């Protein structure tokens, strides 16, 4: 028996409590690090998806520009401009690219492109074409793409068309707009 009046195990019981507290603090710190890492990974996934979605929307818009160029190439006259909803006469195109009325059926045409979303649905967008006038006869090659330019000496004016395409990404909230000019000799 100890003559001082306390047990030889009393110091050991105090140490066990201190180890428990320190262990809980270390566990809390590790948990906070794990939660922070998980949040970072989720944020990076969202950023990656948004970047991919923006690229898909841009590719859709580029496909729509090509489709509009093909439509122009098939034209033999500009007589449908001002009659067909997505074909606008010079100066009569929509004023604002960001107005929802610009992208309704009264001002633009909807078109599916050859790309598909992961669920298999076709990606779509809208475009319109505005007659922009005649190309400068001195050197249209520097300012506009003219199919077959330099390969023929054929006559006729080169009409310039302003093509505006809005591509949609995998989500409806992601859009990209491309404005292009195209010329054709009539």
Higher pLDDT, 53 or 14: 53
Tell me, what's the pLDDT at 17? Answer: 75
pLDDT for res 60: 96
The answer, yes or no, to whether residue 8 has pLDDT greater than 90, is no
Ordered DSSP codes for the chain: --TTSS-TTHHHHHHHHHHHHHHHHHHHHHHHHHHHHHHHHHHHHHHHHHHHHHHHHHHHHHHHHHHHHHHHHH-S-STTBTTBTTEE-TT-S-S-TTSGGGGSTTT-EEEEEEEE-TTSPEEEEEEEEEEEEEPPSS-GGGTSEETTTTT----S-EEEEEEEEEEE-SSTT-EEEEEEEEEEE-
pLDDT(25) > 80? yes
What does the pLDDT read at residue 153?
A: 47
% of the chain exceeding 90 in pLDDT: 52
Average pLDDT over residues 163-184: 93
**pLDDT tens string 140-172:** 455 555 555 555 545 678 899 999 999 999 988
pLDDT of residue 29: 96
- Is pLDDT of 112 > 70? yes
pLDDT mean over 75-96:
90
């Amino acid at each position: 028996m100890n003559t001082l009046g306390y047990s030889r195990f009393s110091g050991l019981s105090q140490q066990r409590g201190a180890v428990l507290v320190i262990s809980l603090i270390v566990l809390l710190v590790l948990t906070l690090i794990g939660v922070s890492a998980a949040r970072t990974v989720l944020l990076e996934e969202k950023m990656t998806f948004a970047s991919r979605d923006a690229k898909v929307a841009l590719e859709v818009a580029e496909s729509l520009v090509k489709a509009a160029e093909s439509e122009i190439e098939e034209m033999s006259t500009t007589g449908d401009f001002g009659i067909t909803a997505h074909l606008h006469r010079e100066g009569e195109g929509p004023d604002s690219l960001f107005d929802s009325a610009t992208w309704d059926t009264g001002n633009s045409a909807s078109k599916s492109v050859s790309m598909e979303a992961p669920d298999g649905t076709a990606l779509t967008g809208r475009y319109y074409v505005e007659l922009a006038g005649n190309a400068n006869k001195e050197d249209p090659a520097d300012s506009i793409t003219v199919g077959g330019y330099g390969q023929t000496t054929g006559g006729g004016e080169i009409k310039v068309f302003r093509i505006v395409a809005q591509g949609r990404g995998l989500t409806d909230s992601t859009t990209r707009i491309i404005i292009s000019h195209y010329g054709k000799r009539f």
